[in-house]
Amino acid sequence: MSNKTIEMFTIRQILRLYSTGMGAKSISKSTGVARNTIKKYLYRYVLSEKTFEEIEAMSDAEMSQLFLIKEPIVGLNRRLSELEPLLPILASMLKKRGVTKGKVYEFYLTHCVDGYKSSSFLEKLNRFMQVGKPSLKMTHKAGDKMFVDFTGQKLHLVDADTGEIKDLEVFVAILGCSQLTFVMAVHSQCKEDFILGCESALHFFGGVPQAIVPDNLKSAVTKASKYEAQLNDTFAAFAEHYHTFGCPTRTYKPKDKALVEGAVKISYTTIFSKIDQKVYHHLDEMNKDILVHLEVHNNAKLTGENYSRMQQFIDVEKQALQPLNPYLFEPTTVQLSTVNKYGHVLLSVDKRFYSVPYKLIGKRLKVKYTTTQLQVYNENEIVAVHDRYHGKDLKYITTQDHLASHHKYATDWNPQKFMTTANEIGAGVAQYIAKILAREVYPEQSYRSCSGVLNFAKRVGNTRLINACKRADSYGIYNYGIIDQILRSKADAIPMEDEIPTTDMPTHENVRGADYFE
């Protein structure tokens, strides 16, 4: 059965009641017309953008063309037509630092005074930005996860001398249950600064969660995966140091860390907007101010709740965190190095060599180092440990036990050792060795000469060596070769007095004096 056509006077009655402020339900009771039918005519009335007086002046035929046509009226919705051109601008405004949807709505009302109410406005804005997709509400357990990330926007330092502006990265961490937030400015997103941010956050919270959830950034992850990402060695060692786990999010799934994404956006309003009002020359000064603004943020009441993040943390999450490791984590860097012919590996960052056992010469070893220590591995076995040297005078750092026996002796060479050995042989030898060491030649060359001279004592005895050194000293020649020549020619056996020419004439009766020639 087809619907009965409504009379025009009934439509006029519906519009008259609507113009007095009555709703569809009340109009339905007054006229006996179904509410859905009334809504249909009211919808056509709104789309027509005509006043009640204009419609009242129409004939029945004109009204039937407006209200009884089967095809829907393609009318112009004034508020929607005003909003649609603004949507791209409004969406781009939300990408700016510190801009919220509330501020965007205020901007919209300045352009459209008689615009939509906030709920209708946000519904259309969200639909334009495609954020109205269904989403799973995540429930976070106390002490379970700490979500970490870097902000997209940066803070800035200004060089006090040159005026140069340097960009700073901003690290953000948030606990899943209480939503207690930590923010810190660092120099870069490198793994050292990333771990510094994580460690600072753990000490800020005063405990360790069961897992740390980073994005798939290179500072934490070597190989990203939808199912099981591979952590880099440094971040894995950091997690082990604090007895927690690294659990990166799935790739291209930002909702896995929606909390920290939200914390990043909030930080633009609560922290960035305030930090931007001041010029900073030092990173420590900036981070002190960030902590001040952060305290205000964490103690502010959550939207729609009667408690703050800090209250929630103290009441629920603080006691669920694991205790901190009493020692700070020291990042370890790994490199490969081949043992050179001298039995040393090169630490490339310092351009300095460290010794390993000489039997490993030619092998390629793994070197792990921190700011204070260096460890060398042959496969999984530690073969050498050194304190990392930061001075400028030493290029080779050597442990005596790593050297072959004939090399150990050479490394013991020094002036004090040679003089001690020479004095044990005799004063003449000690005097000669001292003059060898005083020569202006390369030290190792003098050491070799001293070693060669002193070794003669084992072959010819102390007495012959003493005499040889005295004779060589009388020649004014100080080297190994002259001692060898004297000993081979047995010149050391000739008394020194025989070589000294006499200046006194013998007394004799045949010797004429000076008076003879007068």
Token pair 């030290």 in the structure block, residue: 443
Q: What residue ranges of the chain have pLDDT lower than 50?
A: 1-2, 73-76, 132-137, 252, 256, 406-409
Mean pLDDT of the chain: 80
Could you report the per-residue pLDDT of 446-461, keeping only the tens digit for each? 777 888 899 899 889 9
Q: Enter the tokens of residue 507.
A: 């007394």
pLDDT at 207: 92
pLDDT at 62: 78
pLDDT at 75: 46
Q: Strands, DSSP E only, in 224-263?
A: 230-231, 245-246
How many Å apart are CA 408 and CA 160, to the nearest integer?
54
pLDDT at 464: 92
Contacts (Cβ under 8 Å, ≥6 apart) of 278: 289
Which residues lie across from 146 on neighbouring strands? 175, 212
How many Å apart are CA 355 and CA 344, to the nearest integer?
4
Q: Enter the tokens of residue 170.
A: 């901003």
pLDDT at 430: 92
Alpha helices in 268-402 (DSSP H): 273-275, 283-299, 309-312
Strands 352-355, 396-397: pairing kind: parallel
Could you report the per-residue pLDDT of 342-357, keeping only the tens digit for each? 788 888 888 888 988 8
How many Å apart are CA 235 and CA 213, to the nearest integer?
12
* Ramachandran region, residue 432 (left: φ > 0; alpha: ψ -120 to 50; beta: rest): alpha
Could you report the per-residue pLDDT of 100-115, keeping only the tens digit for each? 888 888 888 888 878 8
CB neighbours of residue 182 within 10 Å? 24
Which residues lie across from 150 on neighbouring strands? 171
Which residues lie across from 173 on neighbouring strands? 148, 182
Nearest Cα residue to 30 out of 19, 22, 21: 22
